[in-house]
Amino acid sequence: YWSSFMTSSMQLAKECLSQKLTDEQGEGSQPFEGLEKFAETIETVLRRVKVTFLDTVLRIEHVPENSKSGTALEIRVERTMYCDETADECSGINVHQPTAFAHKLLQLSGVSFFWDEFPASAKSSPVCSATQLATEPKLSPSWNPKIIYEPHPQLTRNLPEITPSDPVQICKLIGRMELSLTLKQNEVLPGAKLDIDGQIDSVHLFLSPRQVHLLLDMVAAIAGPGNLSRIELSNKDRKNRPMQQEDEYRIQMELKRY
Protein backbone atom coordinates (compact mmCIF):
# COMPACT_ATOMS: atom_id res chain seq x y z
CA TYR A 1 0.00 0.00 0.00
CA TRP A 2 2.70 2.48 0.99
CA SER A 3 4.89 1.58 -1.98
CA SER A 4 2.29 3.00 -4.35
CA PHE A 5 2.49 6.36 -2.57
CA MET A 6 6.28 6.42 -2.36
CA THR A 7 6.88 5.50 -6.00
CA SER A 8 8.18 8.57 -7.82
CA SER A 9 7.05 9.66 -11.27
CA MET A 10 10.51 8.85 -12.67
CA GLN A 11 10.22 5.25 -11.43
CA LEU A 12 6.76 4.94 -12.96
CA ALA A 13 8.03 6.28 -16.28
CA LYS A 14 10.97 3.86 -16.28
CA GLU A 15 8.71 0.89 -15.56
CA CYS A 16 6.29 1.82 -18.34
CA LEU A 17 9.02 2.42 -20.91
CA SER A 18 11.08 -0.61 -19.91
CA GLN A 19 8.06 -2.80 -20.61
CA LYS A 20 7.67 -1.15 -24.01
CA LEU A 21 11.35 -1.57 -24.85
CA THR A 22 11.24 -5.23 -23.81
CA ASP A 23 8.37 -5.83 -26.22
CA GLU A 24 10.23 -4.09 -29.07
CA GLN A 25 13.74 -5.50 -28.54
CA GLY A 26 13.29 -7.96 -31.37
CA GLU A 27 12.72 -5.06 -33.79
CA GLY A 28 16.01 -3.36 -32.81
CA SER A 29 14.40 -0.06 -31.79
CA GLN A 30 16.39 2.75 -30.17
CA PRO A 31 15.89 3.65 -26.47
CA PHE A 32 13.14 6.13 -25.74
CA GLU A 33 14.64 9.63 -25.39
CA GLY A 34 11.75 11.49 -23.72
CA LEU A 35 11.95 9.85 -20.31
CA GLU A 36 12.11 13.12 -18.37
CA LYS A 37 9.19 14.65 -20.27
CA PHE A 38 7.16 11.51 -19.71
CA ALA A 39 7.95 11.58 -15.98
CA GLU A 40 6.99 15.27 -15.77
CA THR A 41 3.68 14.48 -17.46
CA ILE A 42 2.95 11.71 -14.95
CA GLU A 43 3.83 14.01 -12.04
CA THR A 44 1.62 16.80 -13.39
CA VAL A 45 -1.34 14.46 -13.85
CA LEU A 46 -0.97 12.93 -10.38
CA ARG A 47 -0.85 16.37 -8.78
CA ARG A 48 -4.00 17.54 -10.54
CA VAL A 49 -6.12 14.47 -9.83
CA LYS A 50 -9.15 15.21 -7.65
CA VAL A 51 -11.44 12.44 -6.44
CA THR A 52 -14.92 13.07 -5.02
CA PHE A 53 -17.07 10.46 -3.26
CA LEU A 54 -20.77 11.05 -2.56
CA ASP A 55 -22.93 9.38 0.10
CA THR A 56 -20.27 7.04 1.48
CA VAL A 57 -21.26 4.57 4.22
CA LEU A 58 -18.70 2.67 6.30
CA ARG A 59 -20.13 0.05 8.69
CA ILE A 60 -18.06 -1.72 11.34
CA GLU A 61 -19.70 -4.70 13.05
CA HIS A 62 -18.61 -6.54 16.18
CA VAL A 63 -20.18 -9.66 17.72
CA PRO A 64 -18.52 -10.81 20.99
CA GLU A 65 -17.91 -14.49 21.58
CA ASN A 66 -20.89 -16.46 22.90
CA SER A 67 -23.11 -13.43 22.49
CA LYS A 68 -26.58 -13.39 20.99
CA SER A 69 -26.33 -9.77 19.88
CA GLY A 70 -23.78 -7.59 18.16
CA THR A 71 -23.00 -3.91 17.75
CA ALA A 72 -22.24 -1.82 14.70
CA LEU A 73 -20.84 1.64 14.06
CA GLU A 74 -21.88 3.36 10.85
CA ILE A 75 -19.99 6.34 9.47
CA ARG A 76 -21.98 8.23 6.85
CA VAL A 77 -20.25 10.91 4.79
CA GLU A 78 -22.24 13.00 2.34
CA ARG A 79 -19.23 14.31 0.42
CA THR A 80 -15.53 13.35 0.43
CA MET A 81 -12.94 15.18 -1.66
CA TYR A 82 -9.32 14.04 -2.07
CA CYS A 83 -6.60 16.06 -3.82
CA ASP A 84 -2.95 17.10 -3.70
CA GLU A 85 -2.19 20.27 -1.75
CA THR A 86 0.54 21.24 -4.26
CA ALA A 87 -1.78 21.03 -7.28
CA ASP A 88 -2.12 24.82 -7.61
CA GLU A 89 1.57 25.59 -7.13
CA CYS A 90 3.34 26.97 -10.21
CA SER A 91 6.82 25.81 -9.19
CA GLY A 92 8.72 23.62 -11.61
CA ILE A 93 8.77 19.85 -11.30
CA ASN A 94 12.14 18.19 -10.72
CA VAL A 95 11.72 14.50 -11.47
CA HIS A 96 15.34 13.70 -10.53
CA GLN A 97 14.91 15.06 -6.99
CA PRO A 98 11.33 14.36 -5.93
CA THR A 99 9.99 15.93 -2.77
CA ALA A 100 10.71 14.07 0.45
CA PHE A 101 7.10 14.36 1.59
CA ALA A 102 3.82 14.29 -0.29
CA HIS A 103 1.03 16.50 1.04
CA LYS A 104 -2.52 15.31 0.44
CA LEU A 105 -5.77 16.94 1.48
CA LEU A 106 -8.94 15.12 2.51
CA GLN A 107 -12.10 17.19 2.99
CA LEU A 108 -15.27 15.66 4.44
CA SER A 109 -18.67 17.27 4.88
CA GLY A 110 -21.91 15.96 6.29
CA VAL A 111 -20.28 13.36 8.56
CA SER A 112 -22.60 11.46 10.90
CA PHE A 113 -22.03 8.49 13.21
CA PHE A 114 -24.78 5.95 13.88
CA TRP A 115 -24.95 3.16 16.46
CA ASP A 116 -26.79 -0.09 15.89
CA GLU A 117 -27.47 -3.21 17.96
CA PHE A 118 -28.61 -6.31 16.11
CA PRO A 119 -29.04 -10.06 16.74
CA ALA A 120 -26.01 -12.19 15.97
CA SER A 121 -27.95 -14.07 13.29
CA ALA A 122 -28.32 -10.83 11.30
CA LYS A 123 -24.59 -10.19 11.02
CA SER A 124 -23.47 -9.20 7.54
CA SER A 125 -21.66 -12.06 5.84
CA PRO A 126 -18.44 -11.28 3.92
CA VAL A 127 -18.70 -11.30 0.15
CA CYS A 128 -16.91 -14.22 -1.49
CA SER A 129 -14.41 -13.11 -4.10
CA ALA A 130 -14.32 -14.39 -7.65
CA THR A 131 -10.85 -15.89 -7.15
CA GLN A 132 -12.10 -18.09 -4.34
CA LEU A 133 -14.95 -19.33 -6.48
CA ALA A 134 -12.55 -20.14 -9.30
CA THR A 135 -10.28 -22.22 -7.05
CA GLU A 136 -13.09 -24.39 -5.69
CA PRO A 137 -13.18 -27.90 -7.18
CA LYS A 138 -15.95 -28.36 -9.71
CA LEU A 139 -17.96 -31.50 -10.28
CA SER A 140 -18.39 -33.19 -13.58
CA PRO A 141 -20.74 -31.26 -15.93
CA SER A 142 -22.75 -34.43 -16.47
CA TRP A 143 -23.54 -34.69 -12.75
CA ASN A 144 -25.23 -31.58 -11.45
CA PRO A 145 -27.51 -32.52 -8.52
CA LYS A 146 -30.20 -30.18 -7.25
CA ILE A 147 -31.34 -30.32 -3.65
CA ILE A 148 -35.09 -29.84 -3.27
CA TYR A 149 -36.50 -29.24 0.19
CA GLU A 150 -40.23 -29.67 0.77
CA PRO A 151 -41.32 -29.42 4.43
CA HIS A 152 -44.06 -31.64 5.75
CA PRO A 153 -47.37 -29.75 6.16
CA GLN A 154 -47.69 -30.85 9.80
CA LEU A 155 -44.16 -29.75 10.67
CA THR A 156 -44.28 -26.29 9.15
CA ARG A 157 -43.94 -23.36 11.51
CA ASN A 158 -43.59 -19.66 11.16
CA LEU A 159 -40.00 -18.59 11.76
CA PRO A 160 -39.48 -15.21 13.41
CA GLU A 161 -38.55 -12.58 10.88
CA ILE A 162 -35.42 -10.56 11.42
CA THR A 163 -36.34 -6.98 12.17
CA PRO A 164 -34.71 -4.44 9.89
CA SER A 165 -31.79 -2.50 11.27
CA ASP A 166 -32.59 0.94 12.68
CA PRO A 167 -29.34 2.70 13.65
CA VAL A 168 -29.44 5.56 16.13
CA GLN A 169 -27.42 8.71 15.54
CA ILE A 170 -24.77 9.25 18.21
CA CYS A 171 -22.52 11.92 16.69
CA LYS A 172 -22.73 14.73 14.14
CA LEU A 173 -19.87 16.80 12.74
CA ILE A 174 -21.14 20.29 11.96
CA GLY A 175 -19.42 22.09 9.12
CA ARG A 176 -16.44 20.75 7.24
CA MET A 177 -13.70 18.40 8.38
CA GLU A 178 -10.23 18.72 6.85
CA LEU A 179 -7.46 16.15 7.16
CA SER A 180 -3.98 17.06 5.96
CA LEU A 181 -2.00 13.89 5.18
CA THR A 182 1.81 14.04 5.01
CA LEU A 183 3.27 10.92 3.40
CA LYS A 184 6.99 10.19 3.67
CA GLN A 185 8.36 9.21 0.24
CA ASN A 186 11.89 8.36 1.35
CA GLU A 187 12.49 5.56 3.86
CA VAL A 188 15.91 6.97 4.79
CA LEU A 189 14.40 10.07 6.40
CA PRO A 190 13.42 9.87 10.09
CA GLY A 191 9.86 10.19 11.24
CA ALA A 192 6.55 8.46 10.74
CA LYS A 193 5.36 7.28 7.35
CA LEU A 194 2.05 9.06 7.79
CA ASP A 195 1.31 12.25 9.68
CA ILE A 196 -2.30 13.44 10.02
CA ASP A 197 -3.32 16.98 10.96
CA GLY A 198 -7.07 17.44 11.38
CA GLN A 199 -9.43 20.37 11.76
CA ILE A 200 -13.10 20.08 12.74
CA ASP A 201 -15.58 22.94 13.09
CA SER A 202 -17.73 21.40 15.84
CA VAL A 203 -18.76 17.98 17.17
CA HIS A 204 -22.11 17.08 18.72
CA LEU A 205 -22.26 13.83 20.72
CA PHE A 206 -25.40 11.94 21.78
CA LEU A 207 -24.05 8.97 23.74
CA SER A 208 -25.63 7.06 26.60
CA PRO A 209 -23.45 5.31 29.23
CA ARG A 210 -24.36 1.92 27.76
CA GLN A 211 -23.30 3.03 24.28
CA VAL A 212 -20.01 4.35 25.65
CA HIS A 213 -19.15 0.96 27.20
CA LEU A 214 -20.15 -0.95 24.06
CA LEU A 215 -18.13 1.43 21.91
CA LEU A 216 -15.06 0.92 24.11
CA ASP A 217 -15.50 -2.85 23.79
CA MET A 218 -15.58 -2.52 20.01
CA VAL A 219 -12.43 -0.37 20.00
CA ALA A 220 -10.65 -2.90 22.23
CA ALA A 221 -11.67 -5.75 19.91
CA ILE A 222 -10.42 -3.86 16.84
CA ALA A 223 -7.13 -3.05 18.58
CA GLY A 224 -6.44 -6.78 18.92
CA PRO A 225 -6.13 -9.33 21.72
CA GLY A 226 -2.58 -8.20 22.51
CA ASN A 227 -3.59 -4.63 23.20
CA LEU A 228 -6.69 -5.81 25.05
CA SER A 229 -4.62 -7.91 27.48
CA ARG A 230 -2.26 -4.98 27.94
CA ILE A 231 -5.19 -2.74 28.89
CA GLU A 232 -6.49 -5.35 31.34
CA LEU A 233 -3.07 -5.65 32.96
CA SER A 234 -2.78 -1.90 33.35
CA ASN A 235 -6.19 -1.81 35.03
CA LYS A 236 -5.19 -4.61 37.43
CA ASP A 237 -2.03 -2.75 38.45
CA ARG A 238 -4.04 0.19 39.73
CA LYS A 239 -4.56 -0.04 43.48
CA ASN A 240 -7.29 1.97 45.22
CA ARG A 241 -7.49 2.59 48.95
CA PRO A 242 -10.30 4.01 51.08
CA MET A 243 -10.23 7.73 51.82
CA GLN A 244 -8.62 8.61 55.15
CA GLN A 245 -9.20 11.62 57.41
CA GLU A 246 -6.04 13.32 56.18
CA ASP A 247 -7.32 13.03 52.63
CA GLU A 248 -10.56 14.80 53.55
CA TYR A 249 -8.59 17.53 55.30
CA ARG A 250 -6.40 18.04 52.24
CA ILE A 251 -9.45 18.29 49.98
CA GLN A 252 -11.07 20.86 52.27
CA MET A 253 -7.89 22.96 52.25
CA GLU A 254 -7.80 22.84 48.47
CA LEU A 255 -11.43 23.96 48.25
CA LYS A 256 -10.80 26.91 50.59
CA ARG A 257 -8.13 28.18 48.22
CA TYR A 258 -10.82 28.78 45.58
DSSP per-residue letters across 70-95 = EEEEEEEEEEEEEEETTTT--PPP-S
- What does the pLDDT look like over 13-30, one tens digit per residue? 667 766 655 555 544 444
Q: Which residue has the higher pLDDT, 233 or 112?
A: 112
Q: Please state, as a whole number, how many other Cβ atoms lie within 10 Å of the Cβ of residue 91.
A: 6
Mean pLDDT of 152-162: 52
* pLDDT surpasses 80 at 255: no
Instruction: Tell me the CA distances in angstroms from 171 to 11, 43, 57, 100, one per residue in order.
Output: 44, 39, 15, 37
Asked whether 101 and 180 are in contact (CB, 8 A), the reply is no
Strand ranges in the chain using DSSP code E only, listed in sequence order: 51-62, 69-84, 101-119, 168-184, 194-205
- What does the pLDDT look like over 58-117, one tens digit per residue? 999 988 888 888 899 999 999 999 888 776 665 555 555 666 777 888 999 999 999 998
pLDDT tier for residue 252 given thresholds of 50, 70 and 90: confident
pLDDT of residue 127: 47
Mean pLDDT of 142-171: 61
Asked whether 170 and 205 are in contact (CB, 8 A), the reply is yes
CA pair distance 72, 118, nearest whole angstrom: 8
Asked whether 106 and 179 are in contact (CB, 8 A), the reply is yes
pLDDT of residue 84: 84
* pLDDT surpasses 60 at 204: yes
